[in-house]
């Protein structure tokens, strides 16, 4: 079976080495979900550093695990290809991070992972879910909008950016009560 290694020059050598070997013949295999553990952090950080100019730190993920947030990995084609971090409290969910490795983007995996998150938070008693997204992240905005999220606010200067700060758009989705 033909294989290709995703070439990525961001991050440290150990982070680049942790990037998943992708089997071309398995790219359409069904995703599997499992809870994230501290042992996953090298793979998570490798993906995070490859896809974001201002990535979360290892400490952000470690703190999310320690706080008991819902941290999940998605595996496909024999390796880790994405993850999510969600906080649920008092009937609300807050989507803190939903990420898919660059080589797996534009294949429906983000939508699949979002659907997984929506079922998860509903099961844990959330009536709505909120998130923040950069206005420059058009792909994410399109994904969330197509799932029914609506804009509720703008947080001025929320994110670091190349020339100062970038706003955050706050999106919300009311979940079915059924």
Active site residues: 132, 144
CA dist 140 → 17, 61, 105, 109, 133 (Å): 27, 21, 11, 12, 7
User: How would you class 58 by CB atoms within 10 Å of its CB: exposed for 0-12, middle for 13-18, buried for 19 or more?
Assistant: middle
User: How would you class 172 by CB atoms within 10 Å of its CB: exposed for 0-12, middle for 13-18, buried for 19 or more?
Assistant: middle
Structure tokens at 40: 């996953």
CA dist 169 → 6, 38, 109, 127, 134 (Å): 31, 30, 23, 20, 6
Which residue do the tokens 């803190």 mark? Answer: 96
| 127 within 8 A of 177, measured Cβ to Cβ | yes
List all residues 6 or more positions away from 34 whose beta carbon is below 8 Å from its beta carbon.
72, 73, 75
């Amino acid at each position: 079976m033909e294989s290709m290694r995703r070439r990525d020059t961001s991050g440290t050598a150990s982070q680049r080495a942790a990037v998943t070997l992708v089997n071309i013949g398995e790219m359409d295999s069904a995703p599997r979900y499992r809870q994230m553990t501290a042992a996953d952090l090298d793979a998570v950080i490798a993906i995070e550093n490859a896809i974001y100019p201002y990535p979360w730190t290892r400490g952000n993920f470690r703190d999310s695990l320690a706080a008991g947030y819902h941290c999940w990995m998605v595996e496909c084609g024999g390796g880790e290809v994405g993850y999510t971090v969600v906080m649920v409290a008092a009937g609300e969910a807050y989507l803190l991070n939903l990420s898919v490795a660059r080589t797996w983007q534009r294949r429906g995996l983000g939508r699949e992972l979002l659907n997984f998150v929506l079922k998860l938070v509903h099961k844990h008693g959330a009536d709505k879910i909120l998130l923040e997204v950069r206005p420059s992240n058009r792909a994410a905005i399109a994904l969330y909008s197509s799932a029914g999220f609506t804009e509720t606010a703008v947080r001025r200067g929320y994110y670091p950016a190349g020339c100062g700060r970038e706003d955050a758009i706050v999106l919300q989705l009311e979940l079915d009560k059924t």
